[in-house]
Amino acid sequence: MTGRPASVSLVIPAYNEEAAIESVIDRAAAVLARTVSDHELIVLDDASTDGTWAVIERARQRCPSMRTERHATNQGIAATFEDLYRLASKDFVFLISGDGQFPPETLEKCTPLLDRYDIIICKRVVKQYTPYRHAISFAFRWVPKLLFGVDAIDPGGIKCMKREIIQQIPVQSTSVFVESERIIRAVKRGYRLTSVDMEQAPRIGGQAKGARLSTLLGAVRDMTTCWWRLSVLRRPA
């Protein structure tokens, strides 16, 4: 990679984020304009049932270069992430949430590192979690580290990742563990990983959905399957 800033796709999933999504889009567009000369902004609405789509369309009037997509039916967080990755076309993909908890300005910490690292994890200094969510977060960082020997640092947070990794490394997980699986496989292939600190903001609206029992069970299933393939069957990462 040359010394010039890499091109960046900033992608945003949204589901029932009517209260926050407009501010997130405006801030994302502003940080892209001042940080990366070659960029794109993509927002995907996962069939919201509130006014999220109308807000996104209103924001697009101020940012005509922004690309917007909408699922006809709700696909869930993991599938929405994968669709956003497929829509992205730049060298790096920076994925943030539509709820305002992950500041798009964190990209400014990532861009100086893009010529030396392939994955930059935005590590939350303080997580806006209940004790129950803290326990889940702790487990989903340290259990994979024990099983795979790879520290994903903050797998439930956001990251700036080389699009080449998404294109060239197939993943099997269909739950939220897919983010950890992709990091694990990339590091085992020799891609370079680092992190930057990030201050998480309070949720503006919507409801957190990451601790649902079905979500957790799906992640445990996928983590077990991935461990079986990589560690027991010893299939190449």
pLDDT confidence tier of residue 5, bands split at 50, 70 and 90 = low
Question: Do 75 and 126 meet the contact criterion of CB atoms below 8 Å apart?
Answer: no
Locate 229 and state its tokens.
């393939």
- Going by C-alpha positions, the residue among 153, 142, 32, 162 that lies closest to residue 85 is 162
First to last CA, the chain: 24
Secondary element (H or E) of residue 11: strand 8-14
Count CB-CB contacts under 10 A for residue 181.
27
Residue % of the chain over a pLDDT of 90: 74
The predicted pLDDT at position 215 comes to: 84
The predicted pLDDT at position 201 comes to: 87
pLDDT per residue over 140-168, tens digit each? Answer: 888 989 999 999 999 888 999 999 999 99
How is domain 8-232 classified at the CATH fold level? Spore Coat Polysaccharide Biosynthesis Protein SpsA; Chain A (3.90.550)
- Going by C-alpha positions, the residue among 185, 75, 177 that lies closest to residue 119 is 185
Domain ranges in the chain are 8-232
Query: Left, alpha or beta for 9 (phi > 0: left; psi -120 to 50: alpha)?
Result: beta
> How much is the average pLDDT of 68-92?
95
- Going by C-alpha positions, the residue among 221, 236, 115 that lies closest to residue 185 is 236
Alpha-carbon distance values, 43 to 18, 136, 203 (Å): 13, 28, 18
pLDDT per residue over 88-98, tens digit each? Answer: 999 999 999 99
Global pTM value? 0.87
**DSSP conformation class of 19:** T
Q: What does the alpha-carbon distance between residue 92 and residue 89 come to, in Å, rounded to a whole number?
A: 8
